[in-house]
């Protein structure tokens, strides 16, 4: 007995060792086999990170696991991703591993986990999934035999696709299908020509056809048993139930593929007629918990899809949705929706896609005493749609969220009344041929109010009215208030139908009046996309985003508007400015506001504007021409950052200015200029101005250091200057002004950071040098005193609040020296020479009493030593100039006599 047990134990040990060791023995063989199969059969770049073989994982089956598989297309879709698969698991009999490389290996079961399949069909009908390599040399018989030799063959009993995504885009058919969170599994025997396949499918579906979104992330589920005739490619629904969102449907019929044709014969219906089926059609996120909703009445969906689908035809359709005298009430809401009637039908009797049409008759509902009804049809759904629409009813908007859980961050109120009809084709709307639109009736709203976290104030419309007449839409009345703003508007809308039924922008022409218009009332809360908060169990799913407010506000020009506004406003509040008697025209188009002939009173004068402001790009921009006429210098400096940047010295001025500005640059979110981005030029004229040096450190310091002038005597009246600005710098073209009878020329530049680099050239009359010196200079020159000037250059650096004043003494000395020498060039007579020497000696502090002199015939004393050389004379003149300037600049300024 012990011997038997020992033999059994040894045998089991050997088997276990073989099971553990075998994967290492066969792994390279399997990997080579997989690569060879791919290379022989696929025209694409296929890669995988790892391949693993196990006999223990699903014993007695062998398990092959491929991880991180990618399939990248070659031409004509070169570089596109066809598939990414995190893990592919294949199960097969162990004996399949011992087959030769030319023999097909049968797969009993496979699983695909976390896959992304991206199927593309271009406008020429080429598909990126068509990557199989065709054997052009094989006959029909050899082709049949080759399908059973080499590579893998399916003998599947079970398969799974878990947590995957399928993206299907057909550009030629203008169709897009997206399946997300796809989980599908099936059990059957694919080795038989006829078998039953038991399937279970769940997914989130989005479907778009010809730019129309029919499904948007709708949840579907399908439990179906299919009778599969694989030889004839016919699939018959035996037992099945599907749900779209929460709406249950049952299917009967079959689908059969024959060449390029797909024959379809299906019928479907709701298994019950409970009105809860209607709420179940609505996406679950909006329908909420319908199991607790009280309902009456019925809701029935049934349909037939029968015929052939190919490049020419679609199956014939007859789908009906109906309900009568129904109602529903959510348990947590105070109001119910009653008297609900529905009669919708989708019909196609020819199989030609353009002949598909939708009718809706006697569609109505009631909330309290408010009734609303709609009738009409939409024909030629897949071509030039023909719309016939009739709306009639009254609706209290405040009742909507009291009867249905809207779950929106807004608050609506107001009475909407509609009695209107329209008949048009979409081609005329798209081509803006509104003469083909037949419309009539009116729509009005009263006591409308709207609140949202994204806007600063509640919007209220006391009354608004719209008249429709043969495609023309007039708005005779609109009265709106929000925050401090009031608006009264009237005008016309050119393309209301195009705006409502296509993606056209709203075009119109309006006249607007306002007593007060505050720009801040139209600032929109900024939002940004951020990853949505997900639970741990969903952390592996595709990252979703949600819009959250950033805490900032911005003025955004709406992208859906193409309108002209002629306006007249008594008062406009913009930032800290107040404009009065404003009027002009604004054209809003392509997220840009173009201002035409805008005029307004401001700062005791008036302003005129022409130009544009755009919020199309992330950073708003502007390009503007401004004329400021007779505005208060002090007020504009206090309230306009732009004025402070262009002319900081205006802080010390009281008076009036006019200027023509042409400037462009970037704007902040509140549409105030970013000064460092400004470029342009200006022509400014000071009409009247008084100077208060105490308000500007620069002027106070100049007044203190230049003792021979008094800035209180400055005369800036009618002063004109030109300036230009770019890259954050303001450049001043040279201009002159007088401080009493001292001529000052100024040039240079400063930055919006208040750093400056200016040069002043002062022409100082000789009379400021003192009576004795100026008199002597006058005699020397032989001209009047006013013609003798002393040039003093002054450099201004640092900032306007902390200035650095540099007197260019060397240049001043050189200038005065040259002036003295030039004036004496032709007049060096003995008397003049002695007078010059006396002047020079006097300024140098020398005494000539000790020098030997001689007397000429007139009695004038002359030095007995030889005259100075030219260089010596120049040196003395220069020293004298230094002495003169030194006395000039150190002389105490006379105090003003304030006693009259």
Global pTM value: 0.60
Span 619-640, pLDDT tens digits:
999 898 988 888 887 787 777 7
pLDDT-derived band at 840 (thresholds 50, 70, 90) equals: low
Span 321-339, pLDDT tens digits:
999 999 999 888 899 999 9
According to DSSP, residue 149 is labeled B
Element (H, E) at 823: helix 809-824
C-alpha to C-alpha distance for 227 and 192, rounded to whole angstroms:
12
C-alpha to C-alpha distance for 800 and 693, rounded to whole angstroms:
12
Residues near 173 by beta carbon (within 8 Å), at least 6 away in sequence: 121, 209
Question: In a 3-state reduction of DSSP, which class is residue 800?
Answer: coil
The pLDDT, as a whole number, for residue 34 is 66
C-alpha to C-alpha distance for 851 and 865, rounded to whole angstroms:
8
According to DSSP, residue 557 is labeled -
pLDDT-derived band at 777 (thresholds 50, 70, 90) equals: low
Res. 728: pLDDT tops 90: no
The pLDDT, as a whole number, for residue 739 is 79
Span 415-432, pLDDT tens digits:
999 999 989 888 888 887
- For helices 870-890 and 809-824, the axis angle rounded to 10 degrees is 130
Name the average pLDDT for the chain: 77
The pLDDT, as a whole number, for residue 181 is 93
Q: What is the mean pLDDT of residues 858-871?
A: 47
- Let me know the angle formed at the C-alpha of 449 by 448 and 451, rounded to the nearest 5 degrees: 155
Q: Which of 443-447, 496-500, 752-756, 798-802 holds the top average pLDDT?
A: 443-447
Distances (CA, A) of 617 to 87, 554, 614: 43, 13, 8
């Amino acid at each position: 007995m012990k011997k038997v047990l020992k033999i059994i134990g040894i045998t089991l040990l050997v088997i276990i060792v073989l099971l553990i060791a075998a994967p290492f023995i066969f792994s390279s063989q399997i990997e080579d086999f997989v690569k060879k199969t791919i290379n022989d059969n696929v025209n694409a770049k296929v890669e995988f990170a790892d391949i693993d073989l196990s006999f223990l994982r699903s014993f007695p089956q062998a398990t092959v696991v491929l991880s991180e598989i990618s399939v990248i297309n070659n031409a004509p879709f070169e570089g596109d991703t066809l598939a990414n698969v995190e893990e592919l698991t294949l199960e097969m009999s162990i004996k399949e591993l011992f087959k030769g490389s030319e023999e097909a290996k049968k797969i009993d079961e496979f699983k695909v986990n976390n896959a992304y399949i991206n199927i593309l069909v271009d406008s020429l009908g080429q598909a990126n999934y068509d990557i199989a390599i065709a054997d052009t040399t094989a006959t029909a018989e050899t082709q049949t035999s080759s399908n059973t030799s080499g590579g893998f063959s399916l003998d599947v009993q079970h398969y799974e696709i878990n947590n995957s995504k399928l993206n299907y885009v057909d550009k030629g058919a203008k169709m897009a299908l997206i399946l997300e969170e796809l989980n599908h599994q099936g059990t059957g025997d694919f080795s038989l020509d006829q078998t039953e396949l038991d399937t279970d499918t769940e997914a989130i579906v989005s479907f778009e056809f010809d730019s129309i979104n029919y499904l948007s992330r709708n949840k579907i589920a399908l439990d179906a048993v299919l009778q599969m005739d694989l030889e004839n490619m016919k699939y018959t629904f035996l037992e099945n139930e599907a749900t779209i969102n929460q709406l249950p449907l049952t299917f009967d019929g079959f689908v059969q593929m024959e060449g390029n044709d797909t024959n379809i014969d299906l019928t479907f219906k709701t298994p019950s007629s409970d009105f809860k089926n209607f709420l179940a059609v609505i996406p679950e996120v909006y329908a909420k918990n319908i199991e607790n909703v009280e309902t009456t009445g019925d809701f029935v969906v049934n349909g037939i899809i029968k015929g052939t689908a190919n490049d020419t035809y679609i199956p014939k359709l007859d789908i009906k949705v109906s309900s009568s005298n129904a109602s529903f009430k959510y348990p947590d809401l105070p109001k119910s929706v009653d008297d609900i009637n529905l009669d919708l039908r989708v019909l196609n009797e020819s199989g030609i896609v353009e002949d598909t049409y939708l009718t809706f008759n006697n569609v109505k509902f009631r909330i309290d005493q408010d009734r609303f009804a709609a009738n009409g049809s939409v024909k030629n759904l897949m071509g030039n749609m023909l719309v016939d629409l009739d709306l009639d009813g009254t609706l209290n908007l405040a009742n909507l969220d009291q009867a249905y859980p809207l779950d929106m961050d807004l608050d609506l109120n107001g009475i909407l009344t509609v009695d209107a009809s329209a008949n048009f084709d979409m081609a005329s709307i798209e081509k803006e041929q509104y003469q083909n639109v037949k419309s009539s009736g009116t729509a009005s709203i009263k006591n409308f109010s709207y609140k949202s976290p994204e806007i600063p104030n509640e919007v209220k419309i006391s009354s608004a009215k719209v008249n429709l007449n043969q495609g023309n839409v007039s708005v005779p009345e609109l009265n709106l208030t929000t925050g401090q703003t009031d608006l009264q508007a009237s005008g016309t809308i050119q393309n209301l139908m195009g705006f409502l039924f296509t993606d056209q922008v709203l075009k119109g022409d309006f006249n607007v009046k306002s007593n007060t218009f505050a720009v801040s009332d139209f600032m929109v809360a900024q939002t940004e996309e951020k990853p949505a908060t997900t639970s741990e169990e969903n952390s592996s799913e595709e990252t979703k985003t949600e819009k959250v407010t950033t805490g900032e506000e911005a003025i955004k020009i709406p992208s859906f508007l193409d309108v002209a506004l002629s306006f007249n406003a008594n008062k406009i509040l913009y930032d800290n400015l107040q404009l009065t008697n404003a009027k002009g025209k604004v054209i809003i188009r392509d997220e840009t506001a173009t201002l035409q002939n805008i005029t307004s009173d401001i700062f005791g004068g008036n302003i005129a504007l022409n130009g544009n402001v755009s919020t199309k790009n992330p950073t708003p921009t502007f390009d503007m021409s401004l004329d400021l006429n007779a505005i208060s210098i002090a007020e504009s400096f206090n309230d306009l950052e732009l004025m402070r940047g262009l002319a900081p010295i205006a802080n010390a001025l009281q008076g009036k200015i006019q200027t023509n500005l042409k400037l462009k640059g970037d704007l902040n979110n509140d549409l105030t200029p970013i000064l460092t981005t400004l470029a342009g030029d200006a022509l400014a004229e000071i009409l009247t101005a008084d100077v208060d040096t105490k308000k500007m450190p620069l002027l106070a310091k100049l007044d203190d250091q230049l003792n021979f002038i008094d800035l209180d005597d400055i005369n800036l009246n009618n002063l004109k200057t030109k300036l230009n600005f770019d890259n954050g710098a303001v450049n001043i073209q040279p201009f002159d002004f007088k401080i009493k009878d001292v001529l000052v020329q100024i040039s240079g530049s400063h930055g919006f950071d208040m750093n400056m680099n200016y040069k002043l050239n002062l022409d100082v009359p000789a009379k400021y040098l003192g009576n004795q010196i100026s008199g002597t200079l006058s005699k020397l020159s032989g001209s009047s005193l006013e013609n003798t000037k002393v040039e003093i250059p002054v450099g201004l650096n640092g900032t306007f609040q902390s200035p650095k004043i540099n007197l260019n003494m060397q240049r001043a000395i050189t200038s005065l020296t040259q002036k003295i020498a030039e004036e004496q060039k032709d007049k060096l007579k003995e008397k003049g020479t002695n007078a010059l020497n006396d002047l020079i000696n006097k300024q140098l502090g020398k005494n000539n009493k000790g020098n030997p002199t001689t007397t000429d015939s007139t009695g004038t004393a002359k030095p007995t030593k030889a005259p100075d050389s030219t260089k010596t004379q120049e040196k003395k003149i220069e020293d004298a100039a230094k002495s003169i300037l030194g006395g000039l600049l150190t002389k105490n300024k006379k105090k003003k006599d304030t006693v009259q």
